[in-house]
Structure 1
Amino acid sequence: MPNTYSSLYCQSVFAVKYRSAVIKKSFEKELYAVIGNLINEAGCQTLIVNGVSDHVHCLFRFYPRHSISDVMKSVKSKSSKWLNESGYFNNRFEWQIGFGCFAYSQSQVSRVSRYINNQEEHHKNMTFKAEYIELLKAHNISYLPEYLFEDLQ
């Protein structure tokens, strides 16, 4: 649409199903590149993708013509398809249902990029669950603990 201007930045966070630690060093950079390309293919602009063995953080610029839910649905489904076809797993790979989405201004992009880049160091002292709850609280997002994570039955 002509004369529509925006500056929208989103950090999306999503976990491996059951928060299983299955993203290995041997292929994580390739996975993050695939995720970044999928975000770009969805019409957004990837700034950084990084994570650890059980979850991924993505920071990207998006535009008003996009739905974050549609972008993430595409990214998660296509990246899990890529992982399942890659031969990295003997069993079926799946992402946890849902994701966290946190908005930032242009002035916060450098700080958030550094945070995402330092995930390995950050998670030496904090679990993903604690980090995720901290992000929800920092963004004043109400949640019900019983619906946060899908656990093994």
Structure 2
Amino acid sequence: MSFIKIYIHIVFSTKNRIPHFNTFDLRIKVWKHIKENASEKGVFLDMVNGYTDHCHCLLSLGSGQNIEKIVQLIKGESSYWINKNQLTKEKFFWQDEYIAVSVSESKIDSVRNYIKNQERNHQKKTFMEEYQEFIEKYNLK
């Protein structure tokens, strides 16, 4: 039997960073749906949260899973669901790009805390500032 535990922190934004998720209730509804759908599809999504124009996911890859397919599944199905349920004023799309970085076991709690506190985090900085910090912190240039 194989034992696998590979945590990945994924961040992706709405197309053109449009703040579609402009109410707390809408954000909760979308994040809850993403988590439930991931579970139904056999994806271990530990935590999901975000703000008006982006989403953070902490997940653990299982055997046979890869980042690209998991991100496609999460983004594709959720945008379909958002549009089907007319949750946004205009047609909804996620941006094609995303950031995915590995998370060591010793940092899981701090990443969970960071994701959990998105509302508070974005009172102090924009998504673009956060995005730039990720690029620099993880040397993604």
TM-score category of the 2 structures, normalised to the smaller one: over 0.9
| Residue identity in the other structure for 1:138 | K
What is the CA deviation profile of residues 58-94 of structure 1, one whole-angstrom value per residue up to 9, with x for unaligned ones? 1111124111100110110100011001122232111
Separation (CA, whole Å) in 2 of partners of 1:132 and 1:123: 12
Check 1:109–1:70 CA distance in 2 against 1; reply closer, same or farther (3 A cut). same
The alpha carbon displacement at 1:5 in A equals: 2.2
Check 1:77–1:138 CA distance in 2 against 1; reply closer, same or farther (3 A cut). same
Q: Where in structure 2 are the equivalents of 1:54-133 lying within 5 Å?
A: 54-133=53-132
Q: TM-score, normalised by structure 2?
A: 0.92
Seq. identity, %: 29
| Residue identity in the other structure for 1:72 | V
Residue of structure 2 in register with 1:33 after alignment: 32
| Residue identity in the other structure for 2:15 | K
Residue 22 of structure 2 corresponds to residue 19 of structure 1:
no
Unaligned runs of 5+ in 1: 143-153
| Residue identity in the other structure for 1:47 | D
Separation (CA, whole Å) in 2 of partners of 1:111 and 1:11: 12
Max Rg structure: 1
Alignment coverage as a number of residue pairs: 140
* Conserved 8 A contact 1:12-1:101: yes
Residue 52 of structure 2 corresponds to residue 53 of structure 1:
yes
What is the CA deviation profile of residues 84-118 of structure 1, one whole-angstrom value per residue up to 9, with x for unaligned ones? 01122232111111211011012111000000011
SS of the residue corresponding to residue 101 of structure 1 reads: strand
Residue of structure 2 in register with 1:147 after alignment: none
Q: TM-score, normalised by structure 1?
A: 0.85
Unaligned runs of 5+ in 2: none
